[in-house]
Each structure stands twice: as structure tokens, then as C-alpha cells.
Structure 1
């Protein structure tokens, strides 16, 4: 079942880039006592993700943070090394958090996984954005198609903050 507004996110482990290599991060710790914008992409380095979705959040980072958001994070069903390379390649390292959901455990736990095996991608995350306050989902924007980034775009999120 898909997570809904008002529900608490599960506490699972993800990986993120650090100066010392990939480090484990608990979603419970990530969201505890904070207001976080989380958006998900089906895959790092994929066209819509790299050319549209991520750049919107990077370009609007300051505007989002100015609305009382503590952090912005992107999650993808990729390994932490791919997420590190994507963060560096896009100039996003240190600006937003890049989270690797390598086995799609987080995507599956919140009911936002999608099987893109027919496209050669395997099980991935649906494209979405959400505002999370102290671990509770306050807004949730899910794309109908993984190739679109409109309802989950930074501009939509800014309008909801």
C-alpha cells in the first residue's frame, strides 16, 4: 500500500556519499525533528532525472530552504557509488543529500516501487516528491509516468510550502 499524507515514514537504512566513502544513514535520524523535502527519481544519470528533475531542485535550493525547510534530499534505487558520482557530476554534492536505496527497500516499504524491467531498469522507485516533518508525510506528489517530472517538480513543491 502506498504511504499517505499523515503517515510516518518507516525507519530504514540508506547510504549516502561522504568524504570517507558511502555511509549508512537511518531515515529515522534523517527526518527526526526536521522539515525535509524528499524527492525520488527512478535512476541517477537517466534523462528526465538528470536534465529536469534534479536541476530544478538544485536551481531552487535557496528558495526552498528560505521557506523553512531544513534539508533537501534525493533518493534513487542505485548503489551509493553511482549516487556519489551523480552528486559530483551534477554539482549537487554538499548542496542536497543524495541517498542510495540500493535494493529498493525504502521504495517498497512506502509502496512507491515500480517494475521497469521491460525497460532494462529492474525494480526502481516511482518519481515523487514529499514534504516530511519530523518523519511524517505532509505533502505527497506522485508522477503518473516515470518519464515526467511535473507534479513532483521543485516549482510544485515551492508552491506547496
Structure 2
């Protein structure tokens, strides 16, 4: 059963990567800085309006997925190298609630300043044109504002 789940998760990640590779977000792109996301508490939002400098945003289809749980630790491990190259912050953004984001960061053993951001309504990801419905593979009810396998 575990290998079946791992295979399905890798397939979902591959599908997401394939679909999102056509997205218009590129290095140097402007992000939707006024869209609220969460980091510390479900009733406390933040926006990226006040961030300055050079930042890395890593979007993942979902916390705890096999492929993402293999890739995100590499950003955590390389945090100091990113800092030496002039990067101010690394943000891991996921369409999950703040509790899941915090639990995933803890499970990954991240004591680094890499920030795990919960886009619990998919608004930030949707504003980037990268929201897709992965409910068939990752669970949860289908998202009413995302079409299966397509961009919002």
C-alpha cells in the first residue's frame, strides 16, 4: 500500500510539474504581494508587500508528499549558501492549512529560517495562475475555483 501511495504521489507531482512548467512565473517575475497567506496562526494573515531584496519562492503541490519531502530539505540544507549568494529569504508555499505547514516544517526538522507558508485558500497560488485540482490524488474535496488538470 505504501509503495502504491508513493507511486501515486510521484505521479501527481510529475503531473503538477508538467502542467506548471507552462506557467508564466519566471525568475524576476512580480508576485501577487497583496494576497493574504498564513505562517504562524490560522487567524493571522500576512502578505509579501513588505519583503525586499532577493527571495526564493518554492511552490509545492502539498505538504508531506513524497517528492516534495525529498526536494524541500535540499533548500533547507542550502540555506546558508543561498544567503552567501545574496538571497534574503526562502519561502516554501503550499496549498495547505497553517497547522499542516507547521507540522511539515517540524517533521522535516527545519530549525533554519526557511519559512513555510500556508496558502490555505489557494488565493496566492491562484493569483499566480498555478492552482490546479489534485484532489483525486491528494484527497480533500474538489476545489470549486480550480479545474482538474488546468490552471485557474
TM-score (norm 1): 0.65
Residues in 2 aligned to 1:97 and 1:40: alpha-carbon distance in whole angstroms: 12
How many angstroms does 1:94 deviate by? 4.5
CA–CA distance in structure 1, aligned partners of residues 116 and 109 of structure 2? 12
Residue 31 (structure 2) aligns with: 9
> More strand per residue: 1 or 2?
1
What is the TM-score of this pair, normalised by structure 2? Answer: 0.69
> 1:71 maps to which residue?
89
User: Which residue of 1 is the match for residue 53 of structure 2?
Assistant: 34
Equivalent residue number for residue 64 of structure 2: 45
Structure 2 gaps of 5+ residues are: 1-21, 144-152
Q: Please tell me whether the aligned partners of residues 36 and 45 of structure 2 are also in contact (alpha carbons under 8 angstroms).
A: yes
C-alpha offsets along residues 3-46 of structure 1, whole Å, 9 cap, x if unaligned? 444542112110002xxx453211212x3x22111101111111
Secondary structure of the residue that 2:49 maps to in structure 1?
helix
Q: Structure 1 residue 93: deviation in Å? A: 4.4
Query: If each structure's helix is expressed as a fraction of its own residues, which one has the higher value?
Result: 2
CA distance in 2, matches of 1:94, 1:58: 7
Structure with greater Cα Rg = 2
In structure 2, do the counterparts of structure 1 residues 24 and 94 end up closer, same or farther at CA, with 3 Å as the change threshold? Answer: farther
Residues in 2 aligned to 1:75 and 1:81: alpha-carbon distance in whole angstroms? 13
CA distance in 1, matches of 2:45, 2:80: 26
Contact 2:38–2:98 (8 Å) recurs in 1: yes
TM-superposed CA distance for 1:2, in Å, is 4.0
- Equivalent residue for 2:46? 25
Q: CA RMSD in A?
A: 2.0
Q: Which moved more, 1:33-42 or 1:113-122?
A: 113-122
Alignment of 1:1-161 (within 5 A): 2-5=23-26, 7-10=29-32, 11-17=34-40, 21-22=41-42, 23-29=44-50, 31=51, 33-50=52-69, 52-121=70-139, 122=142
- Once the two structures are superposed, residues 72-118 of structure 1 have per-residue CA deviations (whole angstroms, 9 ceiling, x without a partner) of 11000000011111111112245201100001111111101122132
Structure 1 unmatched runs, 5+: 124-161
Inter-partner Cα distance in structure 1 for 2:114 and 2:94: 13
